[in-house]
Amino acid sequence: MDQQLERVFEAVVARNPGEAEFHQAVREVLESLGPVIKRHPEYLEMKMLERICEPERQIIFRVPWTDDKGEVHINRGFRVEFNSALGPYKGGLRFHPSVYLGVIKFLGFEQIFKNSLTGLPIGGGKGGSDFDPRGKSDSEVMRFCQSFMTELYRHLGEYTDVPAGDIGVGGREIGYMFGQYKRITNRYESGVLTGKGIGWGGSLVRTEATGYGTVVFANEMLKTRGESMDGKRVTVSGSGNVAIYAAEKAAELGATVLGFSDSTGYVVDEGGIDLDLLKQIKEVERGRVSDYVERRPAARLGTSGSIWDVPVDVALPCATQNELNGQQARTLVANGVKVVAEGANMPTTPDAMRLLQDAGVLFAPGKAANAGGVATSALEMQQNASRDLWSFEYTEERLTEIMKKIHEQCATTADSYGVPGDYVTGANIAGFEKVAKAIQAFGLV
């Protein structure tokens, strides 16, 4: 890393102790920006990097709720409104026991650049809670969501901050939170949350968007080598929303999706996974990967090793941060992987990322490859503003167009800075430059 940028990073670590994920996200971006600082030394003078690394606002609050037995529970809620240079804060809410301030800041920081790359007028933010919806009844989830929104609502607005879903927050949770927001404010402000149900302001394709967009991006990378997804062997990690619809789009483009996973193990189905069965188990029954194997005799369950042991052409990490490590990356390379595209946020460890790039694997960082979700959230905001509902076909067409433009932007930027094919550098620089120019235009605010 450039010496001046190293000093910026050291200051970030000192100001934000113990937040390992945030430090990792900041380092990855700063390591790409040396050429930008040489071309634009004024960014150092204006403390542009320090300003982007410091959130505009950090909100932490108590969330009390009662379970079905009447027992009181206390969770912690977060919303980090990181940067609004390009538009209202935009980013999901994550409900998971691993959530703490460092995770929310890493996600919010990534969101700045991801949202910039979409070309849409949205800033970066993220939020959530250490609440675990797994195993809770609908009534318990409703009471938690209502308590959470009772505090969060005062910080939101369609021109201020527009949350969406993330891990642990799907249509059920968005519905409960929107209902409470409407109840408290006495406003049907449908543009204040995205990921809503189709019947009350949601957008078609939003459910599919992150997974679809990841595969579209991977397909564009393959095209640079005269190939496509057609005929490729693919695995996805995870079995949630992103993984399911990444698998669906890959199969639609002619690939054979061999496996998926969850926290209990992974499934390999050499004939190609049964998407209808996977959706039934995960979206309807909220079951485990072992349930799939019980109903699909040709599939096998892996409980040792990982999904990355399966030889494939395309690997799509779609579960959570730092799930693909250096040893697993070496296995993928040895098995002939051609493309790794991140469907989750920062799922590849730094050593794994370097190893994949050094081996000539096409590697797409999450801030570029999984931007389809937030892009379609912004399209939902457009539809809410115009009181409209677009068709599935039209919305998917818009999503595909956005993902192709993000790919072009990353590739062109990498070329212009002398690192052709480096999508990490291309994404970081392209995202940074747009935000930096807006910050510069606004003066010292």
CA–CA distance, 142 with 251 (Å, rounded to integer): 36
Sequence-distant (6+) residues with CB within 8 A of 169 are: 92, 93, 94, 95, 128, 133, 195
N-term to C-term CA, the chain: 28
The response to whether 376 counts as a known ligand-binding position is no
- C-beta separation of 38 from 71 below 8 A: no
The response to whether 114 counts as a known ligand-binding position is yes
- C-beta separation of 372 from 341 below 8 A: no
CB 198: neighbour CB atoms within 10 A? 13
- C-beta separation of 5 from 44 below 8 A: no
Query: Of 302, 338, 309, nearest to 324 (Cα)?
Result: 309
Residues across the chain: 445
CA angle 163, 374, 351 (to 5 degrees): 110
The response to whether 377 counts as a known ligand-binding position is yes
Query: Of 130, 214, 206, 144, nearest to 171 (Cα)?
Result: 206
What is the residue-wise DSSP string for 266-331?
EEE-TT---HHHHHIIIIIS---HHHHHHH-TT-EEE-SS-GGGS--SEEEE-S-TT-B-HHHHHH
Query: Which residue's structure tokens are 């804060």?
Result: 89
CA–CA distance, 324 with 319 (Å, rounded to integer): 10
CA–CA distance, 54 with 61 (Å, rounded to integer): 20
- Would you name the residues annotated as active-site residues? 126
What is the residue-wise DSSP string for 380-444?
HHHHHHTT----HHHHHHHHHHHHHHHHHHHHHHHHHTT-TT-HHHHHHHHHHHHHHHHHHHH--
CA–CA distance, 307 with 29 (Å, rounded to integer): 28
Query: Of 325, 321, 335, 405, nearest to 21 (Cα)?
Result: 321
- C-beta separation of 90 from 157 below 8 A: no
CA–CA distance, 50 with 403 (Å, rounded to integer): 29
The response to whether 47 counts as a known ligand-binding position is no
Q: Which two tokens stand for residue 219?
A: 């397909």
The response to whether 372 counts as a known ligand-binding position is no
Write out the binding residues.
90, 111, 114, 165, 210, 241, 377
Write out the binding residues for NAD(+).
210, 241
